[in-house]
Amino acid sequence: MPPVVGSPAPSAGQLPQTDRNDVQSGFHWIARVVLVAALCGAPWAYGAVVAWAWGGLGALVFLALLLWAAGCVQQGVLQIEWTPFYWPFLALLLLAVFQLLAGFTVDHVATREAVVKLTTNFVLFFLAGQLLHAEPESRRVLGRFGLVATLLALAVSALALAQFFFTQNTHLMYWSVPVPTRPFGPYINPNNYGGLMELLIPLSVGYVLSQSSHWLSRLLLWGAVIAALVSVWVSSSRGASAAMLIEGLVFGITFIAVRPKSAWRRALPLVVGIAVVSACIFTWMVNTEGVSSRAWSIFSVDQSREVKFGDRIWVSQTALRMAAHNPWLGTGVGCFEFVFPNYAIAPTDLRWTHAHDDYAEGLAETGLTGGVILAVALWLFFRLAFRDLRDRLHRESGWIQLGAAVGCVGLMAHSLVDFNLRIPANAAWFVVCLSLAIHARVSPRRFWMPAAASNADTDRGPLLRAY
């Protein structure tokens, strides 16, 4: 760009201000690495359900936030990829903080922990929009992130299948750590394992569909997807299997509605191949001794290794009863476990830490106020995540965004019968997928920072002004 008449020409080796602002800071690159490392590490720590694991996840997330801020200072400009979804997310966080500070909670400690986790998820949501979808690098960054999600799905499913087929003692995690339940992969509960795969598999499918590489590379990537699908079937999680079916239907409806010719040519043969190969593997599982009962339990309505379907129904009804007795602000975020015994509509000797229904539990803990926030959030999600699909799917990054949106749909469906959003690792992947899905149109807002004052032209106006 030639210098403006009447202004001094840039010195040798010095970029104009507008060009320097478009160059990614080294701090941003490090922040992106820390963010992805935290996301990939969380599932291996039992889904980050133990205190040291979710605490470590939070520490890494806030470290990434500090690095992002340092990168903005280095560039001299604060650029925010804006989305209206910030408003319901902030409203939910502020509601939880109000419950904590004003004493509208049954258990202060439980609500304080929930506020910390909600804050971590909000920062994750924010950073995913800034670091994974920031222009001008978004296409390259999203492609790499899709590859990371595919490799993570392959690694986690490989561990799960190895444990299933080669472990004699079914109550050992990583072949050495005793756990009270029957673990699957790095998770104590197969349903929570299924929740993670519901997010990773659609991301992987979107990544593969976005690639135009050699057929052998795509075949290997589809092999990773098949391995992940088989692991979900072997886990016997009926909720996860139903969610995967819903995700497949969403992908299919998208293909029919949008009908990009290149997508049909690339996707249809591969999808049919996956269905055939998966059916053969499932048939082999059914005919293998010791596997058939677990495989067929997917389709059973009266069996469950953990909680029966009827129990989930009455526990959800109890949660709604709790909401009816605390209609405006609920019992306090994170307090379900402590309030449940006082409202149980059926006798039980089990300790119910969650309602196996994230929506009913959310209403019990936040009341009608939280219900309105949830309704607005759902409306915004479907409005933003599936807009302009025909145009977006002409870009490689659009397929990864579609995979993120489909993964969110699957986990939201599964949340009707489980509590995956209460598992820190799954919640972290969910908010990242949510951020990627709804940032379809990037609307950057730039604000000049004091660090740029010495290099700014006098006609640029006051500092911290919207660009």
> What gap in Å lies between CA 220 and CA 102, rounded to an integer?
55
- pLDDT tens over the chain, length 467 residues: 444 444 444 444 444 444 444 456 789 999 999 999 999 999 999 999 999 999 999 999 999 999 999 999 988 888 888 889 999 999 999 999 999 999 999 999 999 999 999 999 999 999 999 998 765 556 688 889 999 999 999 999 999 999 888 876 677 888 888 887 788 999 998 999 999 999 999 999 999 988 776 778 888 898 899 899 989 988 878 888 889 888 988 888 887 777 655 555 555 565 565 556 555 655 555 555 444 444 444 444 444 445 666 677 888 888 999 999 999 999 999 999 999 988 887 777 677 888 889 999 999 999 999 999 999 999 999 999 998 888 888 887 888 999 999 999 999 999 999 999 999 999 999 999 999 999 865 445 555 555 444 343 433 333 333 32
- DSSP state, residue 258: H
Instruction: Write down the H helix ranges in 326-357.
Output: 336-343
Residue 311: φ, ψ to 5°: -65, -40
CA dihedral 253, 427, 305, 409 (to 10 degrees): -10
8 A C-beta contact, residue 49 and residue 188: yes
Question: How far is the CA of 62 from the CAs of 53, 110, 126, 149, 181, in angstroms?
Answer: 14, 21, 11, 22, 33
Residue 178: φ, ψ to 5°: -70, 140
Residue 223: φ, ψ to 5°: -60, -40
pLDDT value of position 323? 92
pLDDT value of position 89? 96
Ramachandran category for residue 185: left, alpha or beta (phi over 0 → left; psi -120 to 50 → alpha): left
Question: How far is the CA of 241 from the CAs of 194, 268, 354, in angstroms?
Answer: 8, 21, 21
pLDDT value of position 4? 40
What crossing angle do the helices spanning 138-166 and 215-234 adopt, rounded to 10°?
50
Give the CA angle between residues 292, 315, 324 to the nearest 5°.
Answer: 155
> What gap in Å lies between CA 94 and CA 91, rounded to an integer?
5
> What gap in Å lies between CA 432 and CA 251, rounded to an integer?
20
Residue 370 burial class via C-beta count within 10 angstroms: exposed 0-12, middle 13-18, buried 19 and up: buried
Question: Residue 83's closest CA among 316, 401, 400, 449?
Answer: 401
Beta strand extents in 373-419 (DSSP E only)? none
Task: Give residue 234's identity as a one-letter amino acid code.
Answer: V
What crossing angle do the helices spanning 190-210 and 396-414 adopt, rounded to 10°?
160
**Cβ neighbours for 41, distance < 8 A, ≥ 6 positions apart:** 57, 60
**Cβ neighbours for 38, distance < 8 A, ≥ 6 positions apart:** 57, 60, 61, 64, 428
Instruction: Write down the H helix ranges in 184-260.
Output: 190-210, 215-234, 238-258
> What gap in Å lies between CA 322 and CA 257, rounded to an integer?
42
